[in-house]
Structure 1
């Protein structure tokens, strides 16, 4: 299958032409200065056409456009239910109509973490598995779940994609979702600067000299033996491990896939989380395995083909039911 794919991150949009398990051409559009999604739709269309030209393909051969969006998405209706303060004008846009009118293609939308899980099962570290949890660590903490080979979506389209909003500290930090002590509030990219600066010894840390605080700096300074960095890294590891056990108890996966930008520190993160799961997860059948995502930033883009194939399968079943 040939498809167009968009992965709408908070600061950039990944655009790609995908054939089966291969990305033929891709590009990234910076969106930090954009006034809204509507203002950059013409640029997105131009970029997709350019990528088609580069790959030697054409629109007529494409099965559709798949979009991974950082919010709550009802994939049954392609409706954006919540933008989570990203691309806030998106709820007012009919992207399916735009895709049909401008590209001549049908459109399917899904939460970006679910798209990433589809990609990992299709072409990455979850191939051949039907019961999988994915946790993405980055600016926020995303989640997605597959049970018996099908994405878990729920009655209101938010099942499992709020995997970073499980409370790990009921007297903890206020989360952007309004809850107290969510894993995301305790150990995500947006929360990290505040967590570091609140450390009693922050003024003596090498981190105090940094103009910007992020996980790359945290792990680098921890590797250099900085006490504050070591303490905060340990705190984050414990939060991620506790959240992983909660996800295992909730969804009963064979494997937990961990992805996102923070996985540059996978050599520290994965053994710690696996050891914690071995000690504390209640799984009478055995022990779930913790794996790193293989596809990196391409995971959601490669989720386009299985997402569009899912729609085709549903259409074929509906047609067969009518004929019967």
Structure 2
């Protein structure tokens, strides 16, 4: 079963021809500096046509196209409700009409974290699990939830996909969403530099010499014994673990899948979060398993087949 698949990142767009649980052909194009999503559509179309040729396939053999989008999506109407300041003209575009005109197949659009969860359920770490949540750690903290084998979407399409916006510190930092003390405000890629620079020990830390303050640098310097890096890493682990407990209490999963770029340090993160969940999550049946995502950047692309086959109700 074939499908075309798109994963709309903030600075790049991953394009692929998907064959059930496998990617036949893929390519990434840059979206950095693009004036609009509409301006990128011709390049997206040409890239997908090239990939179809590489995969020895044609559009008519595909069941449809999926698009993982970084925003709030009403999948039933195919509308992009909120772009979260990325591809802001997307709300005005008829992307299904573009897809049908270009390839003669239907398009389904879904939030990118939900797409990643579908991919992990279909072909990765959540295979065979019907009750699962996903927490993605990167520039922000994303989330998605599946209950009894169906994605949670809610009346306003926000259900389950604001997993980084549980309050973990009600006297904490202001989040980009307007709330106080969200997990994302306390321990994400965009908040990390400010958290580090505001610490009174910053000038004495090796982190003060870093050109880029990101999680890779943080974990490396913590491993080398830098005091500020160790303390900040511990803070982040505690925030992520507390957020995981909130996900358990909210959605009753059997498995928590953790993904995103920060999971390059998954050997440190997963055991810490698992121990915290075991100690503090209130469940009547046992302890949810915490595991790292298996599919990496391919997860959202591999969500195409289950999304296109989903019976929307």
The reply to whether TM is greater than 0.5 is yes
Equivalent residue for 1:143?
A: 143
Equivalent residue for 1:24?
A: 24
CA distance in 2 between partners of 1:95 and 1:110 (Å):
12
Map 1:60-75 to 2 at 5 A. 60-75=60-75
The TM-score, its normalising length taken from structure 2, stands at 0.99
Residue 166 of structure 1, CA deviation: 0.7
Residue 26 of structure 1, CA deviation: 0.7
Residue 170 of structure 1, CA deviation: 0.7
Residue 133 of structure 1, CA deviation: 0.6
Residue 153 of structure 1, CA deviation: 0.3
Equivalent residue for 1:285?
A: 285
CA distance in 1 between partners of 2:29 and 2:206 (Å):
33
Equivalent residue for 1:2?
A: 2
Equivalent residue for 2:161?
A: 161
The TM-score, its normalising length taken from structure 1, stands at 0.95
CA distance in 1 between partners of 2:50 and 2:60 (Å):
15
Equivalent residue for 1:211?
A: 211
CA distance in 1 between partners of 2:187 and 2:88 (Å):
25
CA distance in 2 between partners of 1:111 and 1:197 (Å):
33
Equivalent residue for 1:48?
A: 48
CA distance in 1 between partners of 2:55 and 2:139 (Å):
32
- Whether the aligned pair in 1 keeps the contact of 2:7 and 2:15 (CA below 8 Å) is yes
Equivalent residue for 1:95?
A: 95
CA distance in 2 between partners of 1:231 and 1:37 (Å):
41
CA distance in 2 between partners of 1:30 and 1:230 (Å):
35
Equivalent residue for 1:34?
A: 34
CA distance in 1 between partners of 2:173 and 2:13 (Å):
30
Equivalent residue for 2:252?
A: 252
CA distance in 2 between partners of 1:276 and 1:120 (Å):
23
CA deviation profile, 1:166-202 (whole Å, cap 9, x unmatched):
1101111111111111001111111111111111111
- Whether the aligned pair in 1 keeps the contact of 2:60 and 2:103 (CA below 8 Å) is no
Structure 1: unaligned runs, 5 residues or longer: 319-324
Map 1:192-271 to 2 at 5 A. 192-271=192-271
Residue 93 of structure 1, CA deviation: 0.9
Instruction: List structure 1 runs of 4+ shifted beyond 2 angstroms.
Output: none
More helix by share: 1
Residue 35 of structure 1, CA deviation: 1.1
CA deviation profile, 1:244-285 (whole Å, cap 9, x unmatched):
000000100000000000000001000100110111000111
CA distance in 2 between partners of 1:208 and 1:30 (Å):
31
Equivalent residue for 1:12?
A: 12
- Whether the aligned pair in 1 keeps the contact of 2:38 and 2:93 (CA below 8 Å) is yes
Equivalent residue for 1:321?
A: none
Residue 105 of structure 1, CA deviation: 1.5
Structure 2: unaligned runs, 5 residues or longer: none
